[in-house]
Amino acid sequence: MTPFVFHNSTFSMIPIFVAFLVVSSALGPVLPLPSLPDSGHQPLPNRTLNTDKDIQKLRRVDAYLKKINKPAVKTIQSPDGDIIDCVPSHLQPAFDHPELRGQKPLDPPARPRGHNSTEAGSESFQLWIDTGESCPKGTVPIRRTTEKDILRTSSITRYGRRRRHVRRDSTGSGHEHAVVFENGDQYYGAKASLNVWAPRVTNTYEFSLSQIWIISGSFDNDLNTIEAGWQVSPELYGDNLPRFFTYWTSDAYHTTGCYNLLCSGFVQINNKIAIGAAISPRSSYNGRQFDIGLMVWKDPKHGHWWLEFGSGLLVGYWPTFLFSHLRSHANMVQFGGEIVNTRSSGFHTSTQMGSGHFAREGFRKAAYFRNLQTVDWDNSLVPLKNLRLLSDHSNCYDIRQGRNNAWGTYFYYGGPGRNVRCP
């Protein structure tokens, strides 16, 4: 693309970031414990291995699975095929980090002023909860990583991380966006409700997501981001279901950070939400609409960045030591959708963003974000002051902003991808 250029230097960096951002961005019974190894990892099945290279690769996969899948006190079979391991909270992957080893999760901080939350008791946001089973207190539900998950990716070492695209324009990066953003101030969090859909993703190596970004740093090697939302990613999950996800990086997606709990970083404290698990219910075209609330904010006392999901479910936190610039504050917040366009057939992808329909179709047809807010230096929720819109391929995916008393600041966004105006 030709980058959007703002005459105000404060905003000239934004299109660069958006393009660079992800330079990266059945119901079943509870399984009996004796049938599973302590590690929650099932042995590799018998297979014919053709070369030494195959054998070495599978050994590396086996070693990775033993590392990432932690001992579980209970397992739950989700209707969508996922296995959810109930892992003692102090054994979750975050505590493999040298800075956290031997510690326990922190107690929850105070929410920002102006935020009303009610701890959801019987609300069901994810398919695995529909089994009627739950993880015991003192454990966290973790989606088990399988051999198939690893083998879908091109590199074991890059599994769970975004693909790096070093280009500073999106002409060749393949990442396309319809977002709103605000910068020019110091930000200590962001909050919004996101409409959940199941957009069609037409290629294994493409994805479609909707999320909140908390951003700080430069675009070379020290970009810091905290990200949360929902995504459809066949490569990462092996299906086309919308899933709750998180991401972080402190070096522009080069070596640090990962999705969900696939590395040492995010510390989960909640036993009701599985990061990476499928969201249920979902919105339908011209029918029932479903959205989820997300809030990320910086605890003024300890400096960690906390995540709330739904109506008051505190998921956990990103420890402040993971970051450089975000140890202090963010200098940009962003909300919206993103897809990857691989042009694998020689033309623009038909991967959908949002509902797969353009913003102009409005409620019950186009996807939306509503009640957008940021968190200020005083740990208070405040309205956005200087919101900007960016749709870098508006004939494929577009965006429209509005404001009213019920939804505050909101926007509709998305599109079908390939069409007569988006060849």
Q: From the candidates 176, 182, 235, 338, which is the catalytic residue?
A: 338
Q: Which of 66, 65, 82, 83 lies closest to 74 in space, CA to CA?
A: 83
d(CA 307, CA 114): 16
- What gap in Å lies between CA 37 and CA 15, rounded to an integer? 48
Nearest C-alpha neighbor of 69 from the set 38, 30, 46: 38
Measure the CA–CA gap between 339 and 176, rounded to whole angstroms: 5
Q: Which of 133, 176, 182, 227 is catalytic?
A: 227
| Closest of 378, 6, 392, 369 to residue 183, by C-alpha | 6
Q: 102: Cβ–Cβ under 8 A, 6 or more apart, which residues?
A: 95
Bond prior to 109 in cis (omega within 30° of 0): no
Annotation marks residue 147 as catalytic: no
Instruction: Report the SS3 class of residue 190.
Output: strand
Question: Could you identify the residue written with the tokens 């090697």?
Answer: 221
Structure-block tokens of residue 328: 């202090």
Q: Tell me how far apart the alpha carbons of residues 372 and 384 are, in angstroms, rounded to a whole number.
A: 7
Hey, how many other C-beta atoms are within 10 angstroms of the C-beta on 325?
17
Distances (CA, A) of 132 to 280, 319, 351: 14, 32, 34
Q: Is 227 a catalytic residue?
A: yes
Sort strands 367-375 and 381-382 into parallel, antiparallel or unpaired: antiparallel
Q: Rounded to whole angstroms, how far apart are CA atoms 23 and 25?
A: 6
Residues labelled catalytic: 227, 338
